[in-house]
Amino acid sequence: MKPERITRTQSVVDGLLDEIIAGRLVAGETLPAEADLAALLGVSRLTLREGVRLLQAQGVIVPVPGSRHRVAPVDEWTGLEAVVRYSRSGGARRRSSLDLLDMRVMFETGAAELAAPRAAAEHIAELEILLERMRTAHDQGDVPGFVDADLAFHDVIFAAADNRILVASVRPLTTMLQDSRTETSAVLEIREHALVEHAAVLEAMRTRSADAAREAMASHMRQTRDDLLRYVLGE
């Protein structure tokens, strides 16, 4: 498929997901006629079919008898890209925030456990630099700088875990993590707590103890949940 065709096809995927997330295309309902959808999205019928096939592969759209398609319920979607797009929508904010945190607990505690005994001296040095950047950004009220250093800190731990499948599994969540951290890090108290927890994770990484690193990261995730519920979701 040529690059321009890929771009047009992705525009169909994005357009249909936008329609679904906005509630203009409803789960369980049959999609409008192909010609009408193509006109709505401003693409050819061939390009529309290619986009529909991509969403079908992600479980977002399912075929029905008579050469038509319907929108599947969100719980039946299998494509991470589509699920993440839906999760970032306003109506799913609380659920997606907690779902993302649950996923972080599984991935990040395991990554820390793997990383502690495997980390090279360069990884530890980089974590030290990034923690200092977080402190500087916090003192200056630089939320974007704080978020960038925070995300990079966790990326180093994933890299030190030396597991390509783990890294590939986390990568699709990058945008969602960026949005989430930007929202939470705008709160002064959350940044202060994060600095304490990241320092504890770094200290555990220095010991090379898998158990200590896992527990330090688990503590960080517990504090993150408490802060999310208290300061962001207001519970």
Per the DSSP assignment, residues forming a β-bridge with 62 are 70
CA 76 – CA 101 distance, rounded (Å): 21
Q: Would the pLDDT of 51 be above 90?
A: yes
Question: CA of 66: how far to CAs of 69, 74, 184, in Å?
Answer: 9, 23, 48
Strands (E) across 103-219 are located at none
Q: Are 145 and 167 found together in one domain?
A: yes
Of the three residues 23, 51, 80, the one that is the final residue of a domain is 80
The CATH number assigned to the domain holding 210 equals 1.20.120.530
Residue 85 in any domain: the answer is: no
Q: How many domains does the chain have?
A: 2
Residue 87 in any domain: the answer is: no
CA 54 – CA 61 distance, rounded (Å): 9
Q: Are 45 and 38 in contact (CB under 8 A)?
A: yes
The CATH number assigned to the domain holding 36 equals 1.10.10.10
For every residue of 43-93, which 3-state class applies, written as one string? Answer: CCHHHHHHHHHHHHHCCCEEEECCCEEEECCHHHCCCHHHHHHHHCCHHHH
Q: Are 219 and 105 found together in one domain?
A: yes
Q: What tokens does 28 get?
A: 């369980």
Per the DSSP assignment, residues forming a β-bridge with 71 are 27, 61
Mean pLDDT computed over every residue of the chain: 92
- pTM > 0.85: no
**Whole domain around residue 57: which residue ranges?**
3-80
Q: Are 186 and 97 found together in one domain?
A: yes
Lowest-confidence region among 61-70, 93-102, 106-115, 205-214? 93-102
pLDDT score at 179? 84
Residue 86 in any domain: the answer is: no
pLDDT digits (tens, 9 = 90+) for 160-217: 999 999 999 898 788 778 888 999 999 999 999 999 999 999 999 999 999 999 999 9
Q: Are 151 and 222 found together in one domain?
A: yes
* Average pLDDT of the residues in 216-222: 98
Q: Are 227 and 135 found together in one domain?
A: yes
Tokens 């499948």, residue? 165
Residue type, 193: H
pLDDT score at 116? 99
Half-sphere exposure of 46 (CA within 13 A, CB side): 3
The H or E element spanning position 210 is helix 210-227
CA 128 – CA 47 distance, rounded (Å): 49
Q: Are 214 and 112 in contact (CB under 8 A)?
A: yes
Q: Are 100 and 175 found together in one domain?
A: yes
Of the three residues 80, 106, 124, the one that is the final residue of a domain is 80
CA 176 – CA 98 distance, rounded (Å): 12
CA 80 – CA 103 distance, rounded (Å): 12
Q: Are 101 and 74 found together in one domain?
A: no
CA 55 – CA 18 distance, rounded (Å): 12
pLDDT digits (tens, 9 = 90+) for 107-139: 999 999 999 999 999 999 999 999 999 999 999
pLDDT score at 81? 78
Q: Are 120 and 185 found together in one domain?
A: yes
